[in-house]
Amino acid sequence: MPGQPDGDVAHVTPPPGATPSARVPVLLRAPATADSLTVARQVAAGVAHAAGMEDERVEDVRIAVTEACTNAVRHAYASGEPGVLTLASWVAAGSLFFSVRDRGRGFGEGEEGPGVGLLTIRALAGEVDVRSSPLGTEVTMRFPLVPYG
Amino acid sequence: MTPAAAPPWDDDPVPLDIVVGGGEGTPEVRVAGELDLHGSDALVARVRALARPGGSLRLDLAGITFIDSTGANALLRIDRDARHAGAAEVRFVVVRGGPVARLLELTGLVDTLDLETRSRGDAGTA
């Protein structure tokens, strides 16, 4: 998918209706615990509003980001092992992107990965990209900023 | 700084209000707030002991402002537990077009639970 949380993102022109803050990529680093979910989706909703997204689509973002973070909280780290989850968001190519990354154990091909949560994300986001290795899992979601252009 | 400005380090509330009312054997549980991983286990545990054989259990979810698939799974667990305990009726009150109704439709669970759909703005029944 286009765009990365760093690089030339700051030069992307946000769509009409977006506030200038939508130009700025956002990083949230939080403990991979259940009480981080509230702040993660609040940040995501704030970013989505700033990007000019409609209320109903902001709800989609809130749910999808919570699902991705929940997978990191529940599945990434062994029980009792402290872990970190990182939420990144950026605007590129007319879309708002969110990526949730953990540094947990990942899940391999054929293994049962994060199930219902990922299905829910697929139902909400325009595009989803999941990368998982023994060094961690990264779930990137794209939400088109329409209508514009 | 005044004491009121102190950061609430030890304050870690579940973002969920759970109020149990109704009578013996016909409990009504009002749930308000955000139902995600953080509040799901607490809700399931709180409701678990309420169901009685032949009785009914009613969960008023009209005050839920956010729910995800983990929260929806908690509702399924509550339904299953209560029926396993012999409850004759397990009903969930949701707002038409609200977060719970929408998520249940999205996840294909809308026909799995006994739902009582209320229009937005309707007064509560308790």
pLDDT in tens, B51-61: 999 999 999 99
Residue of A42, A58, A70, A118 best to disrupt the B interface, most CBs of B under 10 A: A70
Nearest C-alpha of chain A: how many angstroms from B12? 8
Given CB atoms, is A137 within the 8 Å cutoff of chain B?
no
DSSP string covering A102-122? E-S----TTS--S-HHHHHHH
Neighbours of B22 (CB within 10 A): 17
What the block records as the tokens of B103 is: 């998520």
As a whole number of angstroms, the distance between CA A89 and CA B7 comes to: 28
Q: Please list every residue in chain B whose beta carbon sits closer than 8 Å to the beta carbon of residue A119.
A: 69, 107
Chain A nearest CA to B24, separation (Å): 33
Choice between A146 and B39, residue whose per-residue pLDDT is larger: B39
Average pLDDT over residues A69-94: 91
pLDDT of B59: 97
Kindly tell me the burial class for residue B11, based on how many C-beta atoms sit within 10 Å of its own C-beta (0-12, 13-18, 19 or more): exposed
* Average pLDDT rounded to a whole number, residues A128-148: 89
Among A5-19, A107-121, A125-139, the minimum mean pLDDT is found in: A5-19
B13, closest residue in chain A (CA to CA): A35
Neighbours of A131 (CB within 10 A): 12
A132 touches chain B (CB under 8 A): no
pLDDT at A148: 46
Contacts of A63 in chain B (CB under 8 A): 66, 68, 103
Model pLDDT, residue B121: 73
Nearest one of A101, A147, A120, A131 to A59, comparing CA atoms: A120
- pLDDT number for residue A147: 59
User: Are residues B37 and A37, on separate chains, in Cβ contact within 8 Å?
Assistant: yes
CA-based nearest residue in chain B for residue A56: B99
CB B86 within 8 A of CB B53: yes
Q: Contact B103/A73, CB-based, under 8 Å?
A: no
DSSP-assigned beta bridge partners for residue B26: B23
Rg over CA atoms, chain B: 16
Higher pLDDT, A107 or A4: A107
Determine contact, residues A16/A148, Cβ cutoff 8 Å: yes
What pLDDT score does B77 carry? Answer: 96
What integer pLDDT is reported at residue B55 of this predicted model? Answer: 93
Answer yes or no: are the C-beta atoms of A140 and A146 closer than 8 Å: no
Question: Residue A130's pLDDT is what?
Answer: 94
In this structure, what DSSP letter does residue B85 have? T
Provide the pLDDT for residue A21: 58
Distance, in Å, from the CA atom of A23 to the CA atom of B72, rounded to the nearest integer, reads: 35
d(CA B64, CA A63): 13
Residues A33-54, mean pLDDT to the nearest whole number? 94
pTM of this prediction?
Answer: 0.85
What are the chain A neighbours of B73 within 8 Å (beta carbons)? 116
Which residue, A115, A109, A117, A114, is CA-closest to A134? A109
DSSP per-residue letters across A66-89: HHHHHHIIIIIS-TT---EEEEEE
Q: Are B69 and A116 within 8 A, CB to CB?
A: yes
